[in-house]
Structure 1
């Protein structure tokens, strides 16, 4: 019997496209997948053939104005991208949590009515904050953790957003202390909102909870953290990534270096605003024995007089591009992070915000690539890291093993089977 499964991802391409991958697999089982969406992302889901229902997460505004709001938000913080994760707490991180708490308040105005209208049998939410209406709707709900798995806290692992190494316990404590101090007024405001909806207050620093039904983590086995308290598989399942299906991509001919290794460079749709960094990378790689496809987002007109071994585009069908490359340079967003591992491709991660810091550290400390500072590097250092990416036999062997394991798990199908059981029976028994 067909069930209606609703997905409500955060209004960002990483969570959105991960949920698309799962929704595609859900529909292959005969269920109906629909999306609840920030108005600015409704057309993204419709573009993949899904119904999408708008839920305002801020004061209503035209989609193009909403997109511009977040573009301006990120671009206004570009100076903070030079700072350490610890030093971003009282600027970028604080501002993000203020906006996220506001989004939860706005969602509560629309969500009850939208849920009553579409009557889903199961709700999947990929966000970092609780929407009380979902918890209170009376149907099973699933939390998807598309960012780093340390969104689910543990005393032995680095705090979310910290970029700390697993063994840096002093760094863990320092980050938690500063985060909790800076975030307290915002957290107090959120707890007041929770009280207004009949929900219990959360302890300091916590804005969401694990679902009692199921929590799906996209992190791969080969990079997951060593926890003090292992997660119960009856309530937590690792999906090993959720790579969506995209249209095929044919690598075009380059004016130069057509016989050289192929690189892919992307800092995501919002990170593309850091044009100075992308231009610097283009100049440097223009002198090296590689070809490179560079995602420049909405700023393509700013790139002129390109080297013959560089091709820029505003967008690439990334899951179709990465299988064809030899190495990537990216920002550590979860899609880029997991897709490179899924296809066994080494990455140099130059993080700037959010879980990019955690993913960059993790790829480095597990031997799947390198973490590099975003700005403090020399041409020689970049060249050496790229050479290691394309020629290091130990890294190649590790990536091949990780890729084989991830592809054997088939994350979207694994998720769909779990959701099928929950939608049909209301429980998951393994």
Structure 2
């Protein structure tokens, strides 16, 4: 199986989780990587094949930091609402198409050498080379399930609008998305058709019917009760990798302090907004509790308080079992992994699917949603105390955690992909 993820942690990590199960069942797992990721996957038993630098332009070793800074420069950070941020997105079809062409050309060159039986994509748009190669393709979604397919029975993806809210706001947001996407979609559709693929559905950047879609979202949060999905969409409660090569213990200087233990992470991308990280750290410094902080690529540019310990990145799946509460940006991996361990969350979304996840947690009563830029000291500290002292919520989350860990749905992913590879018609009309 050849995995072709977007080369950022939020997309690579779920693919690692799938690959671990694939390897355990005796298959090969090969990842297409760039220089920044080269050598980082072999510890999981995963083979790597390098995307040539001439094919896919990447920044140097600081690529994670620079990618985050690109998002910051695009207007995704800050106090603007999700719909305002959507309006701010510059429609730049040529830049968009150029990147896709590089990735598509790189994949086209790799495929004859790798000769996969199955291609697993974790992308935001289709790569024609994958469709044209002629083997079954699986699409792994590392984003909110609302972003897989736009269904008017549910809120639009990236909106942060409630499933029980005003549907006039749903329609307004969808229209803004279409206005922003129009030029990009037309240019991309022309490129896909020019490559020999079928035209894309209007405003959709992939053809859903061509793939088996797998995604992770706990049953307790999913939207299938209001918009059922076709048989080529399969949900898993999580896509959590194992970290057998790592260990973690609460540092002695933090373990000796009083108070509950809280994990604070704004993710790889949002953590580069140093001014806001400083603001939030200053608030949390006034809490009687202790904090483990995932500081991000710009960790040297701010200082933690005495009730905190942090590093550029931490082994999140090893930290979560140890803490009592999670303060998060609301990324898919963190939400799924926190529910796996039964941890309540305060979600402070910054962009994209984070808004949807934060609102869903709030609506379903598994956490609270706060504005990452506007929340006051009083709000944040009060919400921390509220969730830490909510025994009823703790019991509900413990029950969810037991169900997820007992069901162990991810154990079935390898067999699912194998079945799909042998009989695609079973899933796709």
Q: CA deviation at 1:389?
A: 1.5
SS in 1 for 2:208: coil
**Partner residue, 2:182:** 184
**Partner residue, 1:15:** 11
Q: Which moved more, 1:175-184 or 1:48-57?
A: 48-57
Partner Cα distance (1:159, 1:93) in 2: 20
**Partner residue, 2:46:** 50
Q: CA deviation at 1:393?
A: 2.6
**Partner residue, 2:116:** 120
Please state if 1:157 is matched with 2:154: yes
TM-score by length of 1: 0.91
- Trace 1:101-180 onto structure 2 (pairs within 5 A): 101-151=97-147, 152-167=149-164, 168-180=166-178
Q: Give the direction of change, closer, same or farther, for the CA distance of 1:101–1:257 in structure 2 (3 Å limit).
A: farther
**Partner residue, 1:218:** 216
SS in 2 for 1:64: coil
Please state if 1:91 is matched with 2:88: yes
Mark the runs of 5 or more structure 2 residues left unpaired by the alignment: none
Show CA shifts across 1:132-153 (max 9, x none). 1111211111111121111222
Q: Give the direction of change, closer, same or farther, for the CA distance of 1:226–1:119 in structure 2 (3 Å limit).
A: closer
**Partner residue, 2:239:** 242
Please state if 1:380 is matched with 2:405: no
Please state if 1:393 is matched with 2:391: yes
Partner Cα distance (2:392, 2:122) in 1: 35
Q: Give the direction of change, closer, same or farther, for the CA distance of 1:134–1:422 in structure 2 (3 Å limit).
A: same
Does the Cα contact within 8 Å between 1:124 and 1:144 map onto a contact in 2? yes
Partner Cα distance (2:360, 2:401) in 1: 16
Show CA shifts across 1:278-303 (max 9, x none). 22222222221110011112222223
Show CA shifts across 1:174-196 (max 9, x none). 01101101211111111111111
Q: Give the direction of change, closer, same or farther, for the CA distance of 1:101–1:266 in structure 2 (3 Å limit).
A: farther
Q: Give the direction of change, closer, same or farther, for the CA distance of 1:229–1:330 in structure 2 (3 Å limit).
A: closer
Show CA shifts across 1:370-405 (max 9, x none). 110011122111111111221113322332222122
**Partner residue, 1:197:** 195
Partner Cα distance (1:375, 1:388) in 2: 20
Mark the runs of 5 or more structure 1 residues left unpaired by the alignment: none
Partner Cα distance (1:409, 1:254) in 2: 38
Does the Cα contact within 8 Å between 1:143 and 1:211 map onto a contact in 2? no
Does the Cα contact within 8 Å between 2:69 and 2:272 map onto a contact in 1? no
Please state if 1:32 is matched with 2:28: yes
Partner Cα distance (2:128, 2:75) in 1: 33
Does the Cα contact within 8 Å between 2:254 and 2:309 map onto a contact in 1? no
Q: Which moved more, 1:393-402 or 1:98-107?
A: 98-107
Q: Give the direction of change, closer, same or farther, for the CA distance of 1:354–1:101 in structure 2 (3 Å limit).
A: farther
**Partner residue, 2:361:** 363
Partner Cα distance (1:93, 1:145) in 2: 24
Does the Cα contact within 8 Å between 2:349 and 2:371 map onto a contact in 1? yes
